[in-house]
Structure 1
């Protein structure tokens, strides 16, 4: 046992800091991008992000246009961004290819100039982090800034992969439940599963055995989503709060409507 511990310690010291890798699989053979190669690309830029989502203040990064690493994707494609901590953001390719002024970048942490640690027990953002310039132009939400990024892959849509979380298709497309399903995919599904389905590993399932609309009063659940510490003060908690800018009142109503609906649509045992 002592030899094993010694070996692991030596390994952690001898492994190069520059060994970070990002895997990109668009269905035509996976590509692997290493830190040192990305930092030498001719299209790398120094960019300024005035209101960085992860750090909560202005940041400067060495970054590559994300679209340059995703050659061949089309507006109708669906992408998943998987982080090493279990976060799995579902992002439609259209938002990356948008022509509305927002631009997605892959920020690369330079081992010679490491980024500061994140606050609130969230660890470290590196080695790769998707950041945006002018995010408001394409209505980019906070869950579409995945950090600790390990993999990007093109997949079928969420509805195709996880049918147990899909509302009845007979519901009108403009219903609150259907709108809430869209909001749920953009916000909650990056950390949580529902009805036992999903790829995220950070938070508990939001419908099995009981959904939050079943055990929390509506006012407390709203307060919890806006500020989790308002309901349970726990310094180690990782769930972020969603203010009105990140989640409008209308979208909050919709996602709660979806969760309430799904509480009566659990999978049969």
Structure 2
């Protein structure tokens, strides 16, 4: 159902002027698997017969209830099928954010699982600005119904999306982020690798592994475990601004509901483990 087009780039997101939201602009969404690339524009997505109005009770980006014009992500992916059944869906945003969403989670449709939608910002009805930001979550935003049923990471709520790509799983794509194979199966660093992949990899690289460009590499040249006291690091992950602030601070805090204490223990164990496995310069 798709036609191939040359890449034309993504039009900039709507900005605020004097505190008032301007009209949203039409945009293009790229779907890419490394060999095929297609583009869909705002009008084409809004014209799909499976477009629906979706009510999200607790929107991750807007921190409250929201309603969107959206298409089922599973249907969009079915129209552009992955050639690799073990692929991961990378949702790349205009600001350098790149979420690594398990393909099975993105495709799920059953009542016992979370369901993903691609929300589309209509040009004639711009969404409000994100809290503390001068732009909206548009032009495209992955939102979730029943996210708790599938343990959806807060980072899977990818906004300002420009491209959806089928890629290899992070562990296959970047072996330098994988823990030592000799670690016991129950070692907390193994749990921590999963937490890092679901949460941190969307913004940060580690040992150069990752495709995001929002935050610094978390192991080169130093790991946070090497310059933070243990309690300060835990506090920083929970509430960054309680430790240090700066004008362009982007990192959110992660509550116990988003990263449990056991997961946080695992994440810190993973960072400690990787600090000891840092490749030579």
Match in the other structure for 1:83: 93
* In 2: Cα distance, 1:63 partner to 1:121 partner: 23
TM-score (norm 2): 0.86
Query: Is the contact made by 2:189 and 2:270 (CA closer than 8 Å) also made in structure 1?
Result: yes
Query: SS of 1:118's equivalent?
Result: coil
Match in the other structure for 1:248: 260
Match in the other structure for 2:130: 118
Deviating 4+ runs (over 4 angstroms): none
Instruction: Tell me how large the CA RMSD over aligned residues is.
Output: 1.7
**In the alignment, is residue 220 of structure 1 matched against residue 220 of structure 2?**
no
Q: 1:64 to 1:86 in 2, by over 3 A?
A: same
Q: Give 1:198 deviation, angstroms.
A: 1.4
Query: Where do 5+ consecutive residues of structure 2 fail to align?
Result: 1-22
Deviates more, 1:21-30 or 1:153-162: 21-30
Q: How big is each residue's C-alpha offset from its partner over 1:5-41, in whole Å with a ceiling of 9 and x where there is no partner?
A: xxxxxxxxxxx96540000113562121100111111
Match in the other structure for 1:36: 43
More helix by percentage? 1
Q: Give 1:262 deviation, angstroms.
A: 0.7
Match in the other structure for 2:70: 63
Match in the other structure for 2:190: 178
* In 1: Cα distance, 2:220 partner to 2:60 partner: 30
Query: SS of 2:133's equivalent?
Result: coil
Match in the other structure for 1:133: 145
Q: 1:122 to 1:160 in 2, by over 3 A?
A: farther
Deviates more, 1:170-179 or 1:257-266: 170-179
Query: Is the contact made by 1:129 and 1:145 (CA closer than 8 Å) also made in structure 2?
Result: yes
Query: Where do 5+ consecutive residues of structure 1 fail to align?
Result: 1-15
TM-score (norm 1): 0.90
Q: 1:190 aligns with which of 162, 178, 202?
A: 202
Deviates more, 1:157-166 or 1:259-268: 157-166
* In 2: Cα distance, 1:210 partner to 1:102 partner: 37
